[in-house]
Amino acid sequence: MAIQFDKDLWNRLLRRTKKTAAGAAEAAKTGAAIMGQKAEESLACAKLRSTIRELKGEIDRELRAAGELVYATHKGNPSDSDALQAILERVDALNQDLSDAERELKIFKGTLFCDVCGAENAAINAYCQECGQPLRKR
Ligand SMILES: [Zn+2]
């Protein structure tokens, strides 16, 4: 017995298959875009972490140098106060860079900073937990 060929059924099946294939391709594209974005973000996070490590190391070295000048003074070998001042100013600048880098890393990880009061908020918050203003999602 010959198989009955149902043209309508065949066409419906074909349309559905096409739609599914297109949907799968679209989903794959979106997935790849998300993966690409994730990879870019994790690279940026890794760079920020290494910047933070370097800054902390530099701050440690500067503070140690400042400490040595203070200790030399204590030991009766007065150090140049301008030199100490210069070191402390470098530490101020490094600390500013450090807090900028740490803030940026937090933003990458989803922390929301309130535009109004600057408070840190969890990524799921819609309103600032400090001042109640709506939070702007990135
Ligand atoms: Zn706020």
Residue 77 backbone phi and psi in degrees, to 5 = -125, 70
The pLDDT of residue 12 is 75
The pLDDT of residue 101 is 97
Environment class of 94 (CB within 10 Å of its CB; exposed 0-12, middle 13-18, buried 19+): buried
Q: Three-state SS string across 101-124, please? A: HHHHHHHHCCCEECCCCCCEECCC
The pLDDT of residue 46 is 94
Domain ranges of the chain: 9-121
The pLDDT of residue 4 is 61
pLDDT digits (tens, 9 = 90+) for 67-95: 999 999 999 998 888 999 999 999 999 99
Q: How far is the CA of 105 from the centre of ligand 1 (A)?
A: 20
What's the distance, CA 15 to chain centroid?
44
CB 95 within 8 Å of CB 102:
no
Q: How far is the CA of 137 from the centre of ligand 1 (A)?
A: 13
pLDDT at 11 over 70: yes
pLDDT at 100 over 90: yes
Q: How far is the CA of 47 from the centre of ligand 1 (A)?
A: 29
pLDDT at 137 over 90: no
Q: How far is the CA of 125 from the centre of ligand 1 (A)?
A: 11
Query: Please, which residues bridge with residue 120 across strands?
Result: 113
pLDDT band at 3 (very low <50, low <70, confident <90, very high): low
Q: How far is the CA of 106 from the centre of ligand 1 (A)?
A: 16
Is pTM beyond 0.85? Reply is no
The pLDDT of residue 39 is 81
The pLDDT of residue 15 is 77
Q: How far is the CA of 27 from the centre of ligand 1 (A)?
A: 37
pLDDT at 35 over 80: no
The mean per-residue pLDDT over the stretch 103-124 comes to 94
Q: How far is the CA of 42 from the centre of ligand 1 (A)?
A: 28
